[in-house]
Amino acid sequence: MINMALEKPPLTRKQKIAALADQCVQCGMCLPTCPTYGLDGSEAESPRGRIAIAAALARGDAEPTAALRTHLDHCLGCLNCQRVCPANVKYDELLVETRALVGPLPGRPRQLLALLRQPTLLRLAARVASATGLARWKVRLGARLPASSAWRAALDTLPDALPEPLPVAREEPAGAAPRVALFPGCVASVEDAEAEASAITLLHAAGYHVTRLPAFCCGAMDLHGGEMATADRLAERVRDTWQASGASELVSVTPGCLGTLRRTLPGVPVRDPVSLLAERSEHLRFRPLSRRVALHLPCTQVNVARSEAALQALLRKVPELDLQVAPRAPYCCGAAGSHMLEFPERAARLREATLGQIATLAPQQLLSSNIGCRLHLAAGMDEHGQHWPHMHPLTLLAQQLENSP
């Protein structure tokens, strides 16, 4: 018989934050890796400073004033700091719990974010914009809105037309091949549908069965925005959908979804499809492509998916492809989920550094696996008259796959 008196009660949110913050030894190794510290040079805009703020809030030594919470809200969640931390501080968990403690950002663009979470509405909005000649009027309309407007940032990142998805060119393999489930997400299911079709084509060619799950939001934007009730509801939907899939692994073409999906489904292998493809790369043959491409590696691909080496290995299987990896200074591109909408001016400053790095490579094309990063970078390219065609790396691989259309 279990002695219930010996069981420890669960930690409260404040106790959990304090315990997580206590792991930090204040060594400062995170400072050179932090984009916002590089942007502002302020200790409060560093991981170490934010951990101190979180600890003070949790212990009641500080109140969540506008100034304090702004430093927390500025964090991009890139996790460069967590990657280099010698004390193994779980900064991602600390940030989520602290934002849940202080609540959502005042003035958060809830209506806009609600639109982005609904693929059906987002697809309809994109079609209306395309039918009314978005390319002709979005710049003029955006100019009438303040530079700090989330709606102006959304207009800037809205593509002139939705790309046509590639056909799924391969039938599923016969026999007892491993089955994976593909999670389409929300924005990616509309704006990056061609990458989703490409992933399925490539996975089939590599010998995987693929089950496509329904398209809906995983809850990442709400989880990182302190909207815990909505994030919990979406997490429950993810769990129900996964249980019905019958798959052994879950993949998403958007690395930004992986962290939230892993948090929702502990014990389930949640991976970037490029990792699965790299494991069976002997099944993949590609046609030559004489092109110089710049590969932008999103923070989530490097620090969450950790699939950057697998992706580069796959791209280097394309004969004659001149692959140039964009340098990774301590600067995220600034997209960071909803950050580019909530803090568009700061996001634009970070984007400038990334585009400058890419420009030094003189590419003919830009590849990036995170749809938010790609749309954000494309808006900056439009502003500066840079005309690099851009796509998901999986789309390029599917286009060059032998026997594909």
Whether the predicted pLDDT of 61 surpasses 70: yes
Average pLDDT, integer, range 388-403: 94
The interaxial angle of helices 91-102 and 66-74, nearest 10 deg, is 140
Indicate the SS3 state at residue 362: coil
Q: If you average pLDDT over every residue of the chain, what do you get?
A: 89
Average pLDDT, integer, range 60-89: 93
User: What's the length of the chain?
Assistant: 405
Q: Is residue 179 part of a domain?
A: no
Give pLDDT, residue 371: 94
Q: What's the rounded Cα separation, in Å, for the pair 333 and 354?
A: 6
Q: Among the three residues 57, 77, 102, which one is the final residue of a domain in this structure?
A: 102
Q: What's the rounded Cα separation, in Å, for the pair 98 and 122?
A: 30
Q: Which of 63, 65, 28, 73 is nearest to 47 (CA)?
A: 28
> Which CATH number does the domain housing residue 27 bear?
1.10.1060.10
Average pLDDT, integer, range 314-333: 91
Give pLDDT, residue 10: 80
Residues 325/312, Cβ–Cβ less than 8 Å: yes
Sequence-distant (≥ 6) Cβ neighbours of residue 151 within 8 angstroms: 109, 112, 145
3-state DSSP of 82-130 = HHHCCCCCCHHHHHHHHHHHHCCCCCCCHHHHHHHHCHHHHHHHHHHHH
DSSP character at residue 316:
T
Which residues share a beta bridge with 322? 292
Q: Is residue 392 part of a domain?
A: yes
Give pLDDT, residue 86: 95
Please name the amino acid found at residue 96: V
Give pLDDT, residue 163: 61
Give pLDDT, residue 253: 95
Q: Is residue 276 part of a domain?
A: no
Give pLDDT, residue 352: 93
Q: Among the three residues 102, 137, 160, which one is the final residue of a domain in this structure?
A: 102
Whether the predicted pLDDT of 67 surpasses 80: yes
Whether the predicted pLDDT of 170 surpasses 60: no
Q: Is residue 349 part of a domain?
A: yes
Whether the predicted pLDDT of 140 surpasses 90: no
Give the tokens for residue 352: 């400038």
Q: Is residue 386 part of a domain?
A: yes
Sequence-distant (≥ 6) Cβ neighbours of residue 244 within 8 angstroms: none
Counting the structural domains of the chain, the total is: 2
Whether the predicted pLDDT of 110 surpasses 90: no
**pLDDT classification of 33: cutoffs 50, 70, 90:** very high
Average pLDDT, integer, range 313-322: 97
Q: Among the three residues 102, 124, 142, which one is the final residue of a domain in this structure?
A: 102
**pLDDT classification of 1: cutoffs 50, 70, 90:** very low
Percent of the chain with pLDDT over 70: 92
Residues 76/336, Cβ–Cβ less than 8 Å: yes
Q: Is residue 197 part of a domain?
A: no
Q: Which of 194, 341, 314, 169 is nearest to 253 (CA)?
A: 194
Give the tokens for residue 22: 């206590």
Give pLDDT, residue 75: 96
Q: What's the rounded Cα separation, in Å, for the pair 156 and 46?
A: 29
Average pLDDT, integer, range 352-358: 93
Give the tokens for residue 76: 């991009």
The larger pLDDT score, comparing residue 13 to residue 131, is at 13
Sequence-distant (≥ 6) Cβ neighbours of residue 27 within 8 angstroms: 86, 87
User: Per-residue b/e over 342-365, b at no fewer than 16 CB within 10 Å?
Assistant: bbbebbbebbbbbbebbeebebeb
**pLDDT classification of 3: cutoffs 50, 70, 90:** low
Q: What's the rounded Cα separation, in Å, for the pair 256 and 301?
A: 8
Give pLDDT, residue 59: 94
What domain range includes position 377?
Answer: 284-400
Q: What Rg value do the Cα atoms of the chain yield, rounded?
A: 21
**pLDDT classification of 174: cutoffs 50, 70, 90:** low
Q: Is residue 171 part of a domain?
A: no
> Which CATH number does the domain housing residue 347 bear?
3.40.50
Give pLDDT, residue 127: 78
Average pLDDT, integer, range 132-144: 73
Judge if pTM exceeds 0.85: yes
Q: Is residue 76 part of a domain?
A: yes
Residues 235/219, Cβ–Cβ less than 8 Å: yes
Q: 388: left (phi > 0), else alpha (psi -120 to 50), else beta? A: beta
Q: What's the rounded Cα separation, in Å, for the pair 267 and 273?
A: 18
